[in-house]
Chains A and B, each alone.
Chain A
Amino acid sequence: MKNIWLERLSPWILTIVLILLWEVIVKGFGISRIVMPSASESFYAIYEFRVGLWKSSLTTLYSTVIGFGIAVVFGVLMGVAIGISRPVYVTVYPLMVAFNAIPKVVVVPILVLWIGSGLQTSAVTAFILCFFPIVVNMAVGLATIEPELKDVLRALGAKERDIVIKVGIPRSLPYLFASLKIAITLAFVGAVIAETVAGSEGIGNLMLVASSNFNTPLMFAGIIVIAAMATGMYGIFAALDSRFTGWATRGSMNFATAGG
């Protein structure tokens, strides 16, 4: 029993140790707060600028979730299309790889030109960043159905649609959830990039303003808040994952994970 508690607590213990280390090193070496604020100064900044941080966080969270939501809907549809149809796979997949290879930060100015700066730009950037891993994982789950199983079903007179519904979709759920955990953190990256490059609000913009004011404690406060939000969202999807696809951790499936 003791070991289980220790296992659960160990990441928190490490977090506290790192924060203490941060405090001691910054204070011990007498580093200027403009270069590197101490942990206590950073956490105090969260309290001090709570109104602005709260508003910015909500803005960032909002655009992240919208971009992510759209990516899930279209990513799953696209993944299904690519996974079940070889012609679609052959035609679309190489282009998707090429688009995904573009560093996303360079498309933000173009987006600004097209749709202006603001929430919509952040949401679209979040979408662009997290779309690819969802598509790839969904497609992998569908494309790797055991051929014997397909034969069993086809010999019963199953249509392609039956195979997808009875086997393909349930089988690809663990792949999908694995990708959602990656995608939600990427969506945050996308939203903050857009806010930093082109935004007038959100955590990314707040960081930019803090930087130009040499308000380093606020910048660290922003980092802590965004990290906490992204980890929290990751936690939600990890919980959903283990709830809906617990069978997979017992089976012998291997997951392809893809980053962007």
Chain B
Amino acid sequence: MAFIEIEDVDLVYRNSFGHEVSDGTLALSGTNLTMEKGEFIALVGPSGCGKSTLLKVVSGLIRANKGKVTVAGETVTDPLKIVGMAFQNASLLPWRSTRENVLLPLEIVEPHRQRFRAEKAHYEDLADKLLETVGLEGFGDRAPWQLSGGMQQRAQLCRALVHEPDLLLLDEPFGALDAFTREELWDVLQALYTDRKCTVMLVTHDLREAVYLADTVYVMSARPGRVILDKKIDMPRPRKLEDLYSRDIADLIQELRHHINVARTDE
């Protein structure tokens, strides 16, 4: 059995209050996707196609109206507790230092929650080590607003990973960054992934990002979203930015772009 199985999922579109809209507009329709443990996948598609919604369905934050979602062999009905999440907006807590922000999940997730007070020094050490691996050595005491946008995203990745989740869900985490910082962070994420071997679902608008990072890229149709294409990316790891400019990869990105354009005009 695959680690994540999404079978025939339908989801009624919700407004910003989380209420289902009365006309029953579908955000997802007949969506299927399976994923192995330790796999890194990317979801791309036209905007508003339900990519982020699919992430929320997998994490159990939203329940599908129809179909079945299983993660690690269990049907998802409530929010999962093995998940780390990161978003386009770093949403670090401004009243906490960067280190305390990274530690936040440990104050909530069992079994760390029980031990947190007693073993605070140990956990702070852990957070500092993690910050070091993303290039934020010595920034633990800084307030989040003292960090640049790219640094905030690095800190957010640390927060998403500190409790060693089995599943990492990333919703356009690099969407608001400039091109150079974004490419730097691809390598940060790739290093973290190779190191930890967790399962990653990445939602992105950037096809190069998707191809560079993922083992499989899934293309979704316009709303109501469903997966219309999956593409294995055969690039050995660790990947290098130069690889993106090889002929095969350039062709692959072109092909993906073409599929998304078709999906957009099908609306």
Contacts and interface: CB of A to CB of B under 8 A. Distances in A.
Nearest to B88: A148
Contacts, number: 67
B73 interface: no
Interface in B244-260: none
Interface string A233-250: 000000000000101101
A153 B145 CA distance: 21
B169 interface: yes
A154 interface: yes
Interface residues of B, number: 28
Contacts of A170: 93, 95
A50 interface: no
A184 to B, nearest CB: 24
Interface stretch (A70-78, A155-163, A211-219): A155-163
A155 B94 contact: no
Interface in B170-190: none
Contacts of A157: 79-81, 108-110
Contacts of B95: 170-171, 173, 245, 247-248
B83 interface: yes
Contacts of A151: 56, 59, 61, 85, 87
A156 B89 contact: no
Interface in B71-96: 79-81, 83-85, 87, 89, 91, 93-95
Given A158-B108, A162-B108, A166-B107, A248 B85 contact: no
B109 A156 contact: yes
A148 B108 contact: no
Given A152-B85, A155-B79, A156-B81, A248 B108 contact: no
A157 B80 CA distance: 7
B223 interface: no
B168 to A, nearest CB: 11
A167 interface: yes
A250 B85 contact: no
A217 to B, nearest CB: 49
B156 to A, nearest CB: 9
Nearest to B89: A148
Given A154-B61, A155-B80, A149 B108 contact: no
B163 A156 contact: yes
Interface in A131-172: 146, 148-149, 151-158, 162, 166-167, 170-171
Interface residues of A, number: 23
Tell which of B60, B85, B108, B109 has the most Cβ of chain A within 10 Å: B108
B104 interface: yes
Contacts of A173: 95
Contacts of A146: 89, 91
A155 B145 contact: no
B169 A247 contact: no
Contact of A148 (B79, B83, B91, B143): B91
Contacts of B87: 148, 151-152
B143 A250 contact: yes
B93, B95, B145: residue with the most chain A Cβ atoms closer than 10 Å: B95
A156 B83 contact: yes
B83 A155 contact: yes
Interface string A246-260: 011011010000000
B85 A155 contact: yes
Most buried by B among A152, A167, A170: A152
B105 interface: yes
Given A154-B79, A156-B105, A166-B104, A250 B91 contact: no
A245 B60 CA distance: 35
Contacts of B105: 156
Nearest to B81: A157
A48 B76 CA distance: 78
B39 to A, nearest CB: 19
A74 to B, nearest CB: 25
Given A151-B85, A155-B59, A155-B83, 9 more contacts: A146-B91, A152-B159, A153-B108, A155-B79, A155-B80, A155-B85, A166-B104, A170-B95, A253-B94
7 contacts: A146-B89, A151-B59, A152-B87, A155-B81, A157-B80, A248-B95, A250-B143
Interface of B: 56, 59-61, 79-81, 83-85, 87, 89, 91, 93-95, 104-105, 107-110, 143, 145, 159-160, 163, 169
In order of increasing CB-CB distance, the 6 nearest A-B pairs are A157-B81, A251-B94, A155-B83, A148-B87, A149-B91, A156-B108
Interface of A: 146, 148-149, 151-158, 162, 166-167, 170-171, 173, 245, 247-248, 250-251, 253
